[in-house]
Amino acid sequence: MEAGTRGRNRRGQGELLRSEIIAATLRLLEELGDDQALSLRAVAREVGIAATSVYLHFEDRDQLVYAAVESFHGDLAAAVEAAENAHDDPVAALTARVFTLADRLQRHPGLFKVLHESTLNQRASMPFKQAMGEGTVTAVQRCLDAALIPPGDAHELALDLRTAVHGAVSLRVNQPGEPREPLTDQLTRFLVKLLGIPT
Amino acid sequence: MEAGTRGRNRRGQGELLRSEIIAATLRLLEELGDDQALSLRAVAREVGIAATSVYLHFEDRDQLVYAAVESFHGDLAAAVEAAENAHDDPVAALTARVFTLADRLQRHPGLFKVLHESTLNQRASMPFKQAMGEGTVTAVQRCLDAALIPPGDAHELALDLRTAVHGAVSLRVNQPGEPREPLTDQLTRFLVKLLGIPT
DNA sequence: TGTACATCAGTGAACGCGCGTTCACTGATGTAC
DNA sequence: TGTACATCAGTGAACGCGCGTTCACTGATGTAC
């Protein structure tokens, strides 16, 4: 309804609003931790525009949520890849990968829930998530190739590792009250016990 | 609004409606996988009563959801305890415990989400969940006492096991489309690698 | 045995609210002449 | 340099909907006398 204090963008700069809307959506999703609870009208309020203005850039509420989640995942993937590439040693690279991913997710509990636990998973396929899983398999395979960990199947080892890491983040995100050891302590044990990384 | 085909209960049998409402709530929560998405009016429709009749037995929508979740958790805990008690050998008992818990949760994906991943966790404390965690610690301790697994800290071992199991169920529940090996295969690896159970 | 009545089990209308989406619109700004 | 006009960026009213909750109520049934 009533517009906020925000002025109109200059001609040709209409796309600026799009990123403002995405940013506001991410803030609200982080707060809510649930894509179904997000309302398009709340996003408009957060940005300071009329609810109908959202339709200038997104077909409907679902497309908006999807675009926001995809954007978050893109940042995440970039951070993980950068952390991994900062190390030559395969074990160090894999460790950096896992630590960075888990840490970033733990720092964005609401978005973690939207990305991995919301009903969006049932309602839309999110193909961009697949690359993240494959990256872990590759990282594990490099450790195997360099004989830095005991022989095994890269897919199975990566699956078990990802499963345990997912569980660690999920428990922390969903029961934030519980006292916990630092996340990396537990992740280190998983790397040692599940992959056989030497201590 | 309009009542269903369901007749009124006899005098003194008013509590029967309470359990019908709980059962309907559990059916809907299982479908929705999200406590916030459940509406009191949908529950009334499912039972075939007026929406206002729910207030005869529950203070408000939140109390209804809480009661339903507590009921589900009670059944779960009973099943897990029964499975565990069916074995004398501590390792067999622990294995039965973990398999039963994971299997039941996997078979009720919607209720798993409500119990462990919904915002209900933030809005209400669910003290009954604590006993389940303590049961696992005890089961692990028994294995340690009998020297059936390598020495270690029961709390830490139980935490890591629970974390990994939670991750396994969560991934399956949230990505039901993915092809997966049988759950018990993965759980067996976790028991072997995280606790050192001999193969 | 009959009947008045209290109680129990449940109803239905109504309230105000926030929602997603549609529609016709407004007014500033850049551009063609 | 001035001006008509197309386009762009965004608005505001309105729609129908389902929601949680409140309120006063109904009518069958068991019980006291």
- d(CA B92, CA B82) in angstroms, rounded, equals 13
Helices (H), chain A: 15-32, 40-47, 61-85, 90-107, 109-116, 120-123, 128-145, 154-174, 183-190
- Alpha helices of B50-89 — where are they, by DSSP H? 61-85
Give contacts of B28 with chain A, Cβ < 8 Å: none
Distance CA(A73)–CA(A132), nearest Å, equals 9
The confidence band for A9, taking pLDDT boundaries of 50, 70 and 90, is: confident
A167-182: per-residue pLDDT in tens? 999 999 999 999 999 9
Q: In this complex, do A166 and B171 lie within 8 Å of one another by their Cβ atoms?
A: yes
As a whole number, the mean pLDDT across chain B is 95
Q: Does the distance separating the beta carbons of B170 and A166 come in below 8 Å?
A: yes
pLDDT of residue A4: 60
pLDDT in tens, B52-71: 999 999 999 999 999 999 99
What is the predicted pLDDT for the residue at A199? Answer: 84
Answering whether pTM is above 0.85, one says yes
pLDDT value of residue B1: 47
Q: What is the mean pLDDT of residues B6-18?
A: 83
Q: Which among B76, B56, B68, B54 is positioned nearest to B124, based on CA atoms?
A: B68
Whether the per-residue pLDDT at A67 is higher than 60: the answer is: yes
Contact B192/A at CB under 8 A = no
Please measure the distance between the N-terminal and C-terminal CA atoms of chain B and give it in whole angstroms: 60
What angle (nearest 5°) sits at the alpha carbon of residue A17, between those of residues A13 and A20?
135
